Amino acid sequence: MSLSTNKYSKIRKVNQLLFCIDLLLFIVVMAASGWSKVANITRTISNQTTTTNTQTYDSAKQYTIGWSSFDNRIEHFYTIQEGVLDKAEELGIRVVTHDEKSNTTEMVSGVTQLLQQDIDALVISPYNPEVLSDIVKQAKEKGIPVIVVDVGTGGSEVDASILSDSFGGGVLAGEYAIRLIKEYQLTSKNAAIIQVKESSEFARRRGEGFKNVMQEAGFNIATIINAESERENAYRAMKELLETYGDDIAVVFTENDPMALGAAQAIDEVGKKGQIMVIGFNGDPTAIQAIKEGYMQGTIAQRPYEMGQLGVELVYTLLTNGEITYDDSEKKELYTEIYLIDQTGKPHIDNGATYQFINYQ
């Protein structure tokens, strides 16, 4: 196996093609059956908008929500979107989608358009939380609640923010790294952290958790590199790291899985596969496959599908005059669980409890 980007982009293209075929078959079946009780759910697939028909529950009002995704080319956010769409379908909610494509301008213009489409609520995974405040202000002026799923709020006064326990995940990664170092009898006391972009405030907590554990165990954090969340940046950063430290590095922790794949590719190209531990964060299917083939040694898995579902559930709660129960009422935050995918490529079993992992893609 090669860790080249082309392989995984082909996998995504095949998945998108199969999904489009499923949608076309669904439309044909519904047209043939004369199904009259329908609601429009707008889906964005491969940068094109299509409309599917789905049955709704009887209700006095059908709600419409706007959903804006960080970037559907990234597995984590594509899976969040699937959770959003499936839960909306279950609740009979119409969804208008937008893909920010990892671009601030696209994020602002696209969400502004969503706010002009008579939506009842906005659910967003913001590419750039720092510009979210103006969007939230526009939404509030229209009486539109805003739910943020992952990434960060940029300090904006949103109605709720859904995130994984990033700091705890970093701690878990550190504890696992120490076990691996002992198991593989590695002698280096150096570790490295490759960071996501600075505006991803929640994800930055992952590196902090990892650093705390490693330093307490007597390891040196040799370098902390900002790779701006991108695989290619992490690949180049890892190349430079290898030139500087050579064999004298035990483990690299990356704050997301795409960067872990980039680091693993660089390590493999210099013939050090399995000699330097690589641990990521997300639980992306491509990362799990890389773990099974020995390029990575683990990842801290999130529950993106459930995060997307929860975003819609919170919207429905607000629109039906319910109250949200927060994990942190002051920050209006709700937390979803994380768990370890170990070097076998399976959820880690700890104290007799097996964590359930579902590949939602």
How do the pLDDT tens digits run along the chain, 361 residues long? 556 544 434 434 444 444 444 444 434 333 443 322 223 333 433 333 333 333 333 445 899 999 999 999 999 999 999 999 999 999 999 999 999 999 999 999 999 999 999 999 999 999 999 999 999 999 999 999 999 999 889 999 999 999 999 999 999 999 999 999 999 999 999 999 999 999 888 899 999 999 999 999 999 999 999 999 999 999 999 999 999 999 899 999 999 999 999 999 999 999 999 999 999 999 999 999 999 999 999 999 999 999 999 999 999 999 999 999 999 999 999 999 999 999 999 998 554 333 333 332 2
Give the C-alpha separation, 81 to 69, whole Å: 7
pLDDT value at residue 40: 35
Query: Bridge partners of 300?
Result: 281, 340
Asked if residue 132 and residue 43 are part of one domain, the reply reads yes
**What's 93's DSSP letter?**
-
Q: What pLDDT does residue 56 have?
A: 39
Could you tell me if residue 36 is inside a domain? yes
CATH, residue 212: 3.40.50.2300
Q: Closest by alpha carbon to 138, among 162, 163, 117? A: 117
- Do 132 and 226 share a structural domain? no
At 288, which amino acid appears? Answer: I
DSSP H helix total and E strand total for the chain = 10, 16
Contact 339, 347 (CB under 8 A): yes
Q: Could you list the residue range(s) of the whole structural domain that residue 53 is in?
A: 8-158+304-336
Residues 87 and 153 placed together within one structural domain of the fold = yes
Residue 60: predicted pLDDT: 52
Shared-domain flag, residues 76 and 22: yes
CA 270 to chain centre: 29
Q: At what angle do helices 285-292 and 257-269 cross, to 10 degrees?
A: 30
Q: Verify that 12 and 69 share a domain, yes or no.
A: yes
Is 125 inside any structural domain?
Answer: yes
Q: In what order do the strands lie in the sheet with 160-164?
A: 94-99, 64-69, 121-124, 146-149, 160-164, 333-336
Q: Does residue 2 lie within any of the structural domains?
A: no
Give the Cα separation of 85 and 305 in Å (integer): 10
**Rounded CA gap, 212 and 222, in Å?**
13
Q: How far apart are CA 333 and CA 313, in angstroms?
A: 14
Same domain, 295 and 275: yes
User: How many structural domains are present in the chain?
Assistant: 2
**330 vs 102: CA distance, rounded Å:** 29
Residues 29 and 61 in one domain: yes
Residue ranges of alpha helices (H) inside the chain are 5-33, 75-91, 104-115, 132-141, 166-183, 204-216, 231-245, 257-269, 285-292, 304-319
Strand order in the sheet with 220-226: 220-226, 190-195, 251-254, 277-282, 298-301, 339-341
Same domain, 122 and 23: yes
Same-domain check for residues 14 and 154? yes
Q: Same domain, yes or no, for 244 and 316? A: no
146 within domain boundaries: yes
Whether residue 284 sits in one domain with residue 200: yes
pLDDT at 2: 58
Pairing of strands 251-254, 190-195: parallel
In a domain, 323, yes or no: yes
- Compute the distance between CA of residue 134 and CA of residue 20 in angstroms, rounded to an integer: 35
Same domain membership, residue 67 and residue 193: no
The verdict on residue 1 lying in a domain is: no
CA dist 58 and 296 (Å) reads 49
What local confidence, expressed as pLDDT, does residue 350 receive? Answer: 58
Q: Kindly list the distances between the CA atom of residue 177 and the CA atoms of 144, 281, 287, 296, in Å, as whole numbers in the listed order.
A: 44, 13, 17, 12
How many residues does the structure list for the chain? 361
> Is 296 domain-assigned?
yes
Q: Is 72 contained in some domain? A: yes
Tokens of 202: 């929640």
